Amino acid sequence: MNPNRVLVLVKGELIRLNKYNVFAISILLALIWGVMLYFVNNDILKALLPMILLIDASMMSIMYIGAIMFFEKNESTISTMLVTPSSNPELVLSKVLANTIHNLFSSILIIIAFVLLKHIELNYLMMLLGIILTTAFFTILGFYMAYFQKNFTGMLVNLMIFSFALLVPTVLYEVNVIKADWFQYVLIFNPIQAGSELISGGFKAYAFEWQYYFSLLYLLIGSIFVYRFLVLPKFHDYAIRQSGV
Amino acid sequence: MYKVDNLKYKYPNNKEDVIKGISFEIKEGEIFGFLGPSGAGKSTTQKILIKILEDYRGTITYNGKDVKTFGNDFYEDIGVSFEMPIHFSKMTAMENINFFLKLYKRNADVEALMKRVGLWESRDKMVGEFSKGMKIRLNIVRALLNEPKMLFLDEPTNGIDPANAKVLKDLVKEFRDAGGTVFITSHIMSDIDQLCDRVAFIVDGEIKEIDSPRNLKIRYGKRSLKLEYKEGGQTIAKEFPMDNVGKNEEFLTLLKTKEIETIHSGETTLEDIFIKVTGVGLRDESE
């Protein structure tokens, strides 16, 4: 892997995110979240803010990477990327890094707004770690999901199903609708729950227990596993299909 | 430069090979053309040569080395112009070019290239606003920006007007004259005839003939001379065998005594030769 080339690719991806208005959309969304949360009382805010940061880092990451890949499909640009000296791992990694940077940017916008307006107390380092790891994992997962979608609409529909299946149990547990003790051991294998633990770790009131460390390892190993064994091996075939062969 | 031996390829969802054991050589410094109707296997062969399709059978060597053994540095030597436009439409032409430029060790003089294809004035326009012809010309700039040693062109003049097609053809010839090697796939006869040093006829994944356009015309053309002359206010045509035409009394008498309108050798077009050799036409095949 050539670090300079990865840097060029990441920079290119970020420029395109801007040109294709993906940055503008995420700033707008951050603004909408911000306005919405500003008007809720502090108790609800405490429950909602981590949830919104989680949605931003998970579902939105999948959607943004899906959008990027479908833009490329429409313009057949992936064919020309295949005939550059860039290797497949460089091409995949650059997209993952760019999407993570982009999502981090929108999450930071939300956080800055609330630190200034609502005086919430954060552990910045842990918050960054939580957002980066959650975003990276779901970006890689979104990459893999995009391989099987024919169009962006199909991707959105599957994202809804995916969100419902994974996000709802976490929400139900968080708001005490599901109270059974054993459920936390089932939930811990849900990547959304793992992301939730990591992002919650960024708030000063969070008590670090085994669930946090498990989630940290789970998303770290999960990201490497999905990248290495699911995304990379199928990337070349995917790229060839997109190039019209 | 390239040597292809008994190349076979089958797409994963197909039952039969689309490339059925073809062999050919691309010599350094030549323009080698692949002429055939749509679906004949031209683009597939090109995609194999540029290492996009990998699960082929047979051997391909580039500068004496199996192409499978090359890493991604292989693309430092290669320039590829695809048939369809391949640019980021919401970026300007220069933004596109500058992005790709940074991925290579060698960089061509982009300003000169852009001027050569008539796009310099439009360099700050969004590619989405370009006409198809402009996008294809930008494809060529993209293919040449790493100063490649080997250039692959897939249907390079498809969809562009004759004036710009000439600009591209001249550019390709200049590239060859400067020592570059070119592989062109086309179903447009004039491209192949005007550009190629050698041409292969490909139909249904099989090569039916390989030679220079000139040799093919001599080999398959009629060795005759056709004369048109005026007589009694009418145009009369007569054909004479080329062999010993200088001793043919009737021919010589006509030349001396009649008002000659035209004289043509019985040279056949590449298209006629293609049909004669392969039994199929170039234009009547559906994509």
Count of Cβ atoms closer than 10 Å to residue B13 Cβ: 5
* Nearest residue of B to residue A236, measured between CA atoms: B52
Q: What separation, in Å, do the N-terminal and C-terminal C-alpha atoms of chain A show?
A: 27
* Same domain, yes or no: B106 and B164: yes
Q: Could you say which residues from 35 to 74 on chain B have a Cβ atom under 8 Å away from some Cβ of chain A?
A: 44, 47, 50, 52-54, 71-74
Rounded-to-integer distance, Cα B194 and Cα B218, Å: 16
Determine the average pLDDT of the residues in A208-220.
91
Please give the tally of structural domains in chain B.
Answer: 2
* Same domain, yes or no: B24 and B166: yes
Mean per-residue pLDDT over chain A, rounded: 86
Contacts of A82 in chain B (CB under 8 A): 52
Instruction: Give the one of B82, B89, B95 whose C-beta lies nearest to A79's C-beta.
Output: B82
pLDDT at residue A245 is higher than 50: no
Residue B287 lies in a domain: no
* Same domain, yes or no: B236 and B185: no
* Same domain, yes or no: B58 and B168: yes
Q: Does B123 reach chain A within 8 Å, measured CB to CB?
A: no
Count of Cβ atoms closer than 10 Å to residue B131 Cβ: 13
* Nearest residue of B to residue A89, measured between CA atoms: B72
Rounded-to-integer distance, Cα B117 and Cα B127, Å: 15
Rounded-to-integer distance, Cα B95 and Cα A97, Å: 21
Range of the domain at B37: 2-212
Q: Is residue A11 very low, low, confident or very high in pLDDT (cuts 50, 70, 90)? A: very high
Q: Are A82 and A243 within 8 A, CB to CB?
A: yes
Q: Does A24 reach chain B within 8 Å, measured CB to CB?
A: no
Q: Do B91 and A19 touch (CB under 8 A)?
A: yes
Q: Which of A89-98, A121-130, A157-166, B118-127 has the lowest mean pLDDT?
A: A157-166
Residue B79 lies in a domain: yes
Looking at beta carbons, which pairs linking B116-119 to residues 24 or more positions away fall under 8 Å? B116/B167, B116/B171, B117/B141, B117/B164, B117/B167, B117/B168, B117/B171, B118/B164, B118/B167, B119/B93
Contacts of B50 in chain A (CB under 8 A): 83
pLDDT at residue B198 is higher than 70: yes
pLDDT in tens, A147-201: 888 788 888 888 888 888 887 887 787 778 888 888 888 888 889 989 989 999 9
* Same domain, yes or no: B229 and B208: no
Alpha helix stretches (DSSP H) within A148-231: 152-174, 183-187, 191-200, 210-225
Q: For residue B162, give the amino acid letter.
A: P
Determine the average pLDDT of the residues in B128-144.
92
Determine the average pLDDT of the residues in A113-138.
87
Contacts of B78 in chain A (CB under 8 A): 83
pLDDT at residue A199, as a whole number: 92
Q: How many residues does chain A have?
A: 245
Residue B109 lies in a domain: yes
Contacts of A87 in chain B (CB under 8 A): 71-72
**Tokens (6 digits) for A228:** 């290495």
In terms of Cβ atoms closer than 10 Å to its own Cβ (0-12, 13-18, 19+), residue B173 is: middle
Q: Do A16 and B72 touch (CB under 8 A)?
A: no
Q: Do B82 and A15 touch (CB under 8 A)?
A: no
pLDDT at residue B285, as a whole number: 42
A128 to chain B, closest Cα gap in Å: 30
Q: Which residues pair with B4 in a beta bridge?
A: B24, B60
**Tokens (6 digits) for B7:** 């190349």
Please give the tally of structural domains in chain A.
Answer: 1
Q: Do A79 and B85 touch (CB under 8 A)?
A: no
Nearest Cα to A96, choosing from A133, A71, A151?
A133
Q: Is residue B281 very low, low, confident or very high in pLDDT (cuts 50, 70, 90)? A: low
Nearest Cα to A104, choosing from A123, A130, A122?
A130
CB pairs under 8 A between A and B: 70
pLDDT at residue B284, as a whole number: 46
Query: Tokens 């700050």 — which residue?
Result: B124
Q: How many CA atoms lie within 13 A of B57 on its CB side?
A: 10
pLDDT in tens, B44-78: 999 999 999 988 999 999 999 999 999 999 999 99
Contacts of B82 in chain A (CB under 8 A): 76, 79-80, 243
Q: What is the CATH number of the domain that holds B90?
A: 3.40.50.300
* Same domain, yes or no: B149 and B242: no
Instruction: Give the one of A75, A85, A87 whose C-beta lies nearest to B87's C-beta.
Output: A75
Contacts of B99 in chain A (CB under 8 A): 8, 12, 15
pLDDT at residue A46, as a whole number: 75
* Same domain, yes or no: B48 and B123: yes
Q: Are A211 and A197 within 8 A, CB to CB?
A: yes
Range of the domain at A36: 3-242
Determine the average pLDDT of the residues in A38-63.
83
Contacts of B54 in chain A (CB under 8 A): 236
* Same domain, yes or no: B164 and B89: yes
* Same domain, yes or no: B24 and B135: yes
* Same domain, yes or no: B172 and B198: yes
Rounded-to-integer distance, Cα B43 and Cα B45, Å: 5
Residue B283 lies in a domain: no
CA distances from B144 to B78, B117, B160 (A): 9, 12, 18
Residue B238 host element (H or E): strand B234-241
Rounded-to-integer distance, Cα B70 and Cα A102, Å: 35
Contacts of B90 in chain A (CB under 8 A): 16, 19-20
Q: Does B204 reach chain A within 8 Å, measured CB to CB?
A: no
Q: Does B107 reach chain A within 8 Å, measured CB to CB?
A: no
Residue B193 lies in a domain: yes
**Interface predicted TM-score (ipTM) over 0.95:** no
pLDDT at residue B283 is higher than 70: no
pLDDT in tens, B204-244: 899 999 999 989 888 887 788 999 999 888 999 999 988 88
Query: What does DSSP assign to residue A75?
Result: H
Residue B114 lies in a domain: yes
